[in-house]
Amino acid sequence: MLNDLKEYYESERQYLREMGALFADRYPKIASRLGLSAEGVRDPHAERIVQGVALLNARIRKKLDDDFPELVEAMLDLVYPHFLRPFPSTGIAAFQLDSLRGDPTSVYEIPSGKLLETSQVGGHELTYRTCGDLKLWPVKVQQAAFMVQPFHGVLADVAAARSVLRIQIQSHAPSIPVSQIGIDELRFFLHLPPLSMAAELYELLMEDVIEVVLSSPRAERRTIRLGPRVLEPGRRSDAESLLPESPRTFSGYRILTEQFASPESFLFVKLTDLANRIPVEFGSDVTIDIFFSRENRELARNVNRSSIQLGAVPVINLFPTTSTDVPVSELKSEFRIIPDAQREKGIEIYSILDVAGVQQDGNRVPIRPFFSSPHGVPNAPYWHSVRRPVPNAGAGADQVGYDQWISLADLSLSGELAFDRLQVDTICFNRNVPNSLHQGGALPDLKMSDGSRAVDVSFLTRPTSTRRPPTRDRAYWDLIANLSLNYLSLEPRDPYRPEAFRNLLKLYEHFSDRYAQQLSRGVRSLSCRPDVAILPEVIGGFCRGVEVTLELDEDVFVGNSAYLFAMAVEEFLCRYVSVNSFSRLIAMTTSMAKEGRRWRWKPRSGTRALL
């Protein structure tokens, strides 16, 4: 921000000096009174005036070159609010039941939105919240291994298997059978750095499972076959989103944002249909064998007990707060919102939830956003907020944060106020403070904000930095252009020039790490053709839709995952498709195309599968 202003300032000062010399040459008598001459400004007081005028002109020029951000921000904040907001720090947290305090036969549930606090980081305590409900069963992963042929014993029963993932779980109390705990499903997080290796295991679990078998060393002759369909993606519901869900926001854009910013948050796998399937004779030890039609010797060398994690959940640095009362008066046109006066330098507003004016007698007057749909209340007050950059806001001297300023008016723009202070409910994050965690060093301790000690919690992955959207070089107008996709087709005329889809993906690359910031180049081709699918039996009939074929260049996805990217695209397309239609994605990498192998998803309309 200040660097830009300095460039404008230097330009204006140079202009005033050059024009001063020309003015002095043409009007020497007048110029002498101003201290101007052909050689420059001789009077130091006149030089200070020139510098002050240059600074004021620099602010005006910068404002004119900002492409009217107030108009663009107001519109985008109404229809796609997350486009303009930062993506706060995210990570994966692991919860463990205290075997001495918890009930060894019942589940411990942690609701979505549970607040977690860290130890001091740069003089600030960070606050994260959980994203999705979590069930903590009194069992643990005792052992995990990935094996390839040849198999022996129980593993040899599935003849077509080329590899197997074996997970051995054990109840916390050796005297309590797993069947007595009443487990209905288990959700695993694939903790297998780097991301590309964990994604390979995730791909196998989603695409190449041919059988899932339960057994136990206590009952060697007894096996339970569950079938391949018991494995599901662990994060698909909107209730498990990282960013706050908004009815104004198309959820497909949110999914793309989360995929670029936090791909590891999608590495969850859910094992379902376990209710009443585990026999009593299995005792306290149960072995889960997941058989695959393909092998992967790299996974066989790297998968171990820590690779399969129970009790994990994504967390994000977002938390609700009620700001310090904002005093207002008719002498000012706008007022700064301070979320927490005690932690001002370490807290930034993500979004404003509610604004109310407080009268002298304590009555609260609701205030609506100025740029919103309900405008029918006469003489009702409205609020409007703007973000302004603040330098040195966080982990380093070059870190920039934003403060929010609020202004009030009614529809007649009278500016008269019936209250003397505001109460503002907000969602906040810890500015750029988490950036230091991403750079290395020991991870901070975690604890539940309510002081509960029934579970231990810690970071499983290193939290990411705060990611901020670009605000220069017509970035806002690129976002406005994205709105035209509501009226245009993503299908290109030339399958090998999918520019509309690539431009869509480029809008999200700034949320990603550097090594992944060119993923849009990985889209090699995109083609569409009409398709027909059978509706579920309850409804019956047929439905017309579109089959999308996507080819990806795996060289672009080195260090990342083409499969996770394709999965996010499938989620986007099934929600992007028009009403009374569906999408079916077929994706492949360039090498897969040569082998004749494809990733195929079921036809879906929104979040609902048709078959």
Question: Residues 337-368: pLDDT tens digits?
Answer: 998 888 888 999 999 999 999 888 888 888 88
Inside any domain, residue 535: yes
Residue 328 and residue 295 share a domain = no
Last residue in a domain, options 391, 406, 430: 430
Inside any domain, residue 481: no
Residue 195 and residue 172 share a domain = yes
pLDDT at residue 35, rounded to an integer: 65
Last residue in a domain, options 430, 464, 499: 430
Inside any domain, residue 60: yes
Inside any domain, residue 71: no
Q: Kindly provide the b/e burial profile for residues 155-173, where b requires at least 16 CB atoms within 10 angstroms of the residue's own CB.
A: beebeebbbbbbbbbbbbe
Residue 296 and residue 148 share a domain = yes
Residue 124 and residue 52 share a domain = no
Residue 167 and residue 248 share a domain = yes
Give 428's contacts (C-beta < 8 A, 6+ positions apart): 318, 319, 320, 321, 339, 340, 347, 348, 349, 350
In the chain, how many domains are there?
Answer: 4
Residues of the chain short of pLDDT 50, as ranges, are: 395, 397, 487
Inside any domain, residue 508: yes
Residue 354 and residue 212 share a domain = no
| Contact status, residue 466 vs residue 432, Cβ threshold 8 Å | yes
Q: DSSP labels for 15-39?
A: HHHHHHHHHHHH-HHHHHHHTEETT
3-state secondary structure of 452: coil
- The enclosing H or E element of 2 equals helix 2-26
Residue 188 and residue 308 share a domain = yes
Residue 3 structure tokens: 């660097």
pLDDT at residue 187, rounded to an integer: 97
Inside any domain, residue 466: no
pLDDT at residue 397, rounded to an integer: 44
Residue 417 and residue 366 share a domain = yes
Question: Domain span at residue 221?
Answer: 90-316
Inside any domain, residue 407: yes
Q: DSSP labels for 394-421?
A: SSSTT-EEEEEEEEEE-TT-----S-SE
What are the backbone angles phi and psi of residue 131, rounded to the nearest 5°?
Answer: -115, 90
CB 609: neighbour CB atoms within 10 A? 14
**pTM of the predicted model as reported, rounded to 2 decimal places:** 0.88
pLDDT at residue 538, rounded to an integer: 61
Inside any domain, residue 438: no
Read off the pLDDT of residues 541-550 as tens digits, 9 standing for 90 and up. 788 889 999 9
